[in-house]
Structure 1
Amino acid sequence: MTIKANVDFKDAIAGLDKLSEVRAKLARSMAVAGGKVLRDEAKMRAPVGTDEGGSKNPGGLQRSIYVAYRDKASTTAKQVYAVSWNAKKAPHGHLVEFGHWQSHARYKGKDGNWYTGAKLAAPKWVPAHPFLRPAMDASMAQAREVMLQRGRERLPELLAGGGDADEL
């Protein structure tokens, strides 16, 4: 006895094609959600200098922290985002995060501005006030949960073709 079956896989293949189309969009949406958690934690932890303490732009480092897509590091298999600070807005962020040697004296002029003065006889170590690395350590578990939740929300939207396809 022979049983013949004519099975049409067009719908199944179309469904798989749909999955491959939404994969990168889903990954990006999830990564943005997790990145926002890390960014917000880093902003909360970033030190805010004071004018009296020599800061030219109090809160500038905190305001410069962002989450951004890294196109060159991303591939079809992975989507890469970075959480960092804008070095143009906060050019000394790395000195705060990692610490540094202070080689020159700083003083406040009569005009109220801060200046770099004479070279110190012996360089002075200015300790780090890390904010980005501790933010990652403290919020990674929450970021994972937020990413999974975003995936649960976004996947049905993308599969149904509803919502803005470019919405993250």
Structure 2
Amino acid sequence: MTIEADISGALAFLDEGAELMVDAARPAAQAGAQVLYDAVKRNVSALGRKTGKLEGSIYQKFSDELSRGGRRVYRISWNAKKAPHGHLVEFGFLQSYVMYQGNDGRVRPLVRPGMEGLPRPGRWATRAEKDAYYVPLPGGPKQRPGKAFVRSAASQFPKAQAAMEARYLEELRAMGVIR
């Protein structure tokens, strides 16, 4: 005995449902990204405002190059052109020289008397060349600890996950895939 059945309609329905599920992934990913973005903005605000450049440089952006198949990726970080010091705040740094804030608001290393007007040591200059040009910190270099404003937002992953799940189900209901 042979039973034949045409299931092409069922397969087409499943394909359409799968396509709708992929379409629902981007708004769901954005909902999770928004939770993390808000956490990063709060963390930067808690650091205390100096110039506001770091706070103004925080962004979230959809990543076409990392989004493949049903996966949707958003990047949350700081714009290094707007706030080139962001990595120093996030990860910390070793401060070797006395710093001062100029009239323009920029922080710079203090130049030794008699060295003003001379060309600065290059990026790859030796430590001795830099020490001869800039005023070293009394007592030697100091480690300035990082203030992890992006990495500490990872504590919000469970909240971001919940936001993504809720938005995904909301999108699927709106599309009629689920009730």
TM-score, normalised on structure 1?
Answer: 0.77
Matching residue of 2:136: 120
Q: Does residue 1:146 correspond to 2:163, yes or no?
A: yes
Q: Which runs of 5+ in 2 are unaligned?
A: 111-133
Q: Which runs of 5+ in 1 are unaligned?
A: 51-57, 161-168
Q: CA deviation at 1:159?
A: 4.7
On the 8 A contact 1:31/1:79 being kept in 2, the answer is yes
User: Quick one: which of 136, 151, 154 aligns to 2:154?
Assistant: 136
Secondary structure of 2:72's match?
coil
Matching residue of 2:17: 19
Matching residue of 2:130: none
Cα deviation code 1:29-69 (max 9, x no counterpart): 1111001000101110112332xxxxxxx222122222222
Change (3 A) 1:115 1:82: closer
Equivalenced residues, count: 149
Cα deviation code 1:102-153 (max 9, x no counterpart): 23322133x353342224242221111111111111x111111111110111
User: Quick one: which of 95, 98, 120 aligns to 2:91?
Assistant: 98
TM-score, normalised on structure 2?
Answer: 0.72
Percent of aligned pairs sharing the same letter: 37
User: Quick one: which of 173, 176, 179 aligns to 1:156?
Assistant: 173
Q: CA deviation at 1:5?
A: 6.0
User: Quick one: which of 76, 96, 99 aligns to 1:83?
Assistant: 76
Bigger strand share: 1
